[in-house]
Structure 1
Amino acid sequence: MEAFEYRPNPAHIIFGSGSVAKTGHQLKQHGLSKPLILSTPEQVSQAEALSATLTEDVKVVGIFSEATMHTPLHITEKALQYAQEREPDCLISIGGGSTIGLGKAVSVRNGLFHIVIPTTYAGSEVTPVVGETVDGKKTTRSDPKILPSLVIYDIDLTMTLPVGMSVTSGINAIAHAAEALYAQSGNPITNLFAQEGIRALARSLPELLHDKSSVSARSDAQYGAWLCGTCLGSVGMSLHHKLCHTLGGSFNLPHSETHTIVLPHALAYNAPKVPGAMKMLADALPESNGDAIVGLNKLLAKTNAPRSLKAFGMKESDIDKAADIAVGNAYWNPRAIERDLIREVIRRAWAGEDARIDL
């Protein structure tokens, strides 16, 4: 076995149906009583419902409900000003990646204790990374201080998540684990997490199409998302995540849908250089017949996942610009980054083609 380093994710995890009811008790245990709750405009009702469940000795100082995708700096600055005026002693982010990203961007700046209650399968809640957008350009920042202090997984809050959003959020989670399998800083522990997380999501997402209220499928999906997110928080990412940050931040494309569409193409590009990782991925995907790309294409088809960036407003004329941005900053990837080939990867994702290993 090759030498490796493994640094466990230090976040406190509470998992299970009804777990959100433990929020008030957790606040007390940490000596906190003045939370500021963050959400998107669409999820303000969940933020209000959470506020109503907290005990009388906890005073919610406000609900900031302007979180939006890609964590634009001007929204973070607005939230920081809101917090400064209300003087909370902690933050509670309830929602998906947009809200969690805002919570992380705020907490790393003002040092507040950060509790996250995820309602999607984004996985951001267990990573020390935040992606922020300034003037249409998205950059990532990594710091142990970004990692939320407490994560409360309650499947009850995911039961009404639309099936389409469940699928793209779940494939987004699979992307975290798939890239972890060939990460430069990968190790046997994250490989185990990655395979188990992918299996759980590949098992649960098709089931949700038949029964979106399946408790077992929702529980499996949330469990898988936690494991996959932990992989993202433990090792570095490569081409797939770099492409998605470029496309999302520069062309305002939706986060989980972009990850879903790009994933098979990015993996197909790297596949020739990482046969061991592709075998582990194939073993975790049903109906792969030993071919990870085949297995992923089948999973996307079975779950009616979106396949085309064009359908979300990306123009064909944006492909060259995206390729230029994607190769503009050097980063580690198992296969050398070649601009013309990366352009073709982006073009295939734009057109909605099946992924294939022929570049």
Structure 2
Amino acid sequence: MTRTDSAPFVHEQRAHRVVFGAGAFGGLSEEVERLGARRVVVVGSKRTVESAVVRLGRKAVLVVDDPVMHVPATQVRAVLARAEEAEADADAVVAVGGGSAIGLAKALALRAGLTVLAVPTTYSGSEMTRVWGITEEGVKTTGKDPAVAPRTVIYDPELLTTLPPALAVPSAFNAMAHAVEALWAPDRNPFVDALAREGIRGLVRSLPGLASGDPAAPGEALYGAWLCGVCLDSTTMSLHHKLCHVLGGTLGLPHAPTHTAVLPYVVAFNAPRAPRALGVLQEVLGTEDPALGLFQLQQETGARRSLADLGMRESDLDRVTGLVLASPYANPYRPDASDIKHLLRSALTGAPPSVVVESSKT
């Protein structure tokens, strides 16, 4: 890793254990024991929790097989009530699934002090972070707390070979967004820059294979998503994540497809104002216009690129814009209402993102 400047920086590395490799899920019970856990809540889809329970045996004292997107507070309270009624007395929660399962596990850790072990079955990256999010009455509240960060993460590419392209592709773009925003974060540093570059590169290389169902693609995609997740945990997210949290929490738009649809437009808006990030993205994507490069990669891999396709309407623009402006967030350039509306309107229609670059204020 070569530094290109002498600016001072601070980097904090959270202690955690990563087990990566084909077949690693088979060691789930041993990894739970390594954490000192004896009674476990298992969270995931019906398919994934069944395989986890088989491996955990009597350690599994409560099963939640219906985690809901954006972690509704009502579900968090319902699961905690179930645990109390069943006298589960759990000391850990195992999440086998995507962002919804891991998000619910984190919420349980936050509210009940449970240790988290995560087995991601998508590329969301949440398993690498201290970030939690809970949605109540249409508002998604997020925060950071070391208590919710998974102590152990099992990455098993075999668990993702059957993930349909329609889910795998947006999940990979969602992961990429974490590293893209880290490149212009106010607290970025050379270590994060290197991780972001390598993580984005791995995802870009793997995306055509994910789209075609190549069974070799999940290994590289999962590696890239891991690095991008570390970026998410190590830096402050900006405009992209603010937009997606509002769109998801307020309008109920699906998480990964929303990140996918919004990403090229935020890159078009921010990258010209963040020269270092622009240079990295140009290098990794192999194009002078990384926003258009991302847009074209989405076309090639069959990703949905319009917020209208995901359920947003023109009449939502004012509401979303107001909520985005209502609370501060880090960004290379502070957008005003007209900037946000222009960006969202372009994403709503799926217009080429270069239009955003040409018409935004400089």
Q: In structure 2, which of residues 284, 289, 292 is the aligned counterpart of residue 294 of structure 1? A: 292
| 1:1-359 equivalent positions in 2, closer than 5 A | 1-39=6-44, 43-54=45-56, 58-84=58-84, 85=86, 86-210=88-212, 212-215=213-216, 217-285=217-285, 288-356=286-354, 357-358=357-358, 359=360
Structure 2 residue runs without a partner (length 5+): 1-5
Question: Is this contact kept in 2: 1:180–1:236, CA < 8 A?
Answer: yes
How many Å separate the matches in 1 of 2:316 and 2:34?
Answer: 51
Alpha-carbon displacement from aligned partner over 1:135-161 (angstroms, at most 9, x marks no partner): 001121111222111110111111111
Letter in 2 for 1:151: V
1:289 positional shift: 2.5
1:194 positional shift: 0.5
How many Å separate the matches in 2 of 1:4 and 1:73?
Answer: 37
How many Å separate the matches in 1 of 2:298 and 2:142?
Answer: 27
How many Å separate the matches in 1 of 2:162 and 2:142?
Answer: 30
Question: Is this contact kept in 1: 2:202–2:220, CA < 8 A?
Answer: yes
1:301 positional shift: 1.5
Letter in 1 for 2:34: Q
How many Å separate the matches in 1 of 2:334 and 2:17?
Answer: 38
How many Å separate the matches in 2 of 1:59 and 1:97?
Answer: 23
Letter in 1 for 2:147: K
How many Å separate the matches in 1 of 2:149 and 2:67?
Answer: 18
Letter in 2 for 1:22: G
1:33 positional shift: 2.2
Structure 1 residue runs without a partner (length 5+): none
CA gap 1:276/1:31 in 2 versus in 1, 3 angstroms? closer
Moved more, 329-338 or 121-130: 329-338
How many Å separate the matches in 2 of 1:124 and 1:137?
Answer: 19
How many Å separate the matches in 1 of 2:328 and 2:55?
Answer: 48
Question: Is this contact kept in 1: 2:97–2:121, CA < 8 A?
Answer: yes
Letter in 2 for 1:113: T
Aligned length: 350
How many Å separate the matches in 2 of 1:325 and 1:46?
Answer: 36
How many Å separate the matches in 1 of 2:276 and 2:33?
Answer: 47
How many Å separate the matches in 2 of 1:59 and 1:145?
Answer: 21
1:53 positional shift: 2.2
How many Å separate the matches in 2 of 1:54 and 1:64?
Answer: 15
Alpha-carbon displacement from aligned partner over 1:248-307 (angstroms, at most 9, x marks no partner): 11100000000000011111111221011111112112xx33332232122112111111
Question: Is this contact kept in 1: 2:116–2:148, CA < 8 A?
Answer: no
CA gap 1:124/1:275 in 2 versus in 1, 3 angstroms? same
TM-score when normalising by structure 2: 0.94
Question: Is this contact kept in 2: 1:279–1:291, CA < 8 A?
Answer: no
Aligned residue for 1:46, secondary structure, equals helix
How many Å separate the matches in 2 of 1:208 and 1:166?
Answer: 6
Question: Is this contact kept in 2: 1:9–1:230, CA < 8 A?
Answer: no
How many Å separate the matches in 1 of 2:264 and 2:211?
Answer: 21
- Identical counterparts, % of pairs: 40
Moved more, 139-148 or 290-299: 290-299
Aligned residue for 1:37, secondary structure, equals strand
1:213 positional shift: 4.0
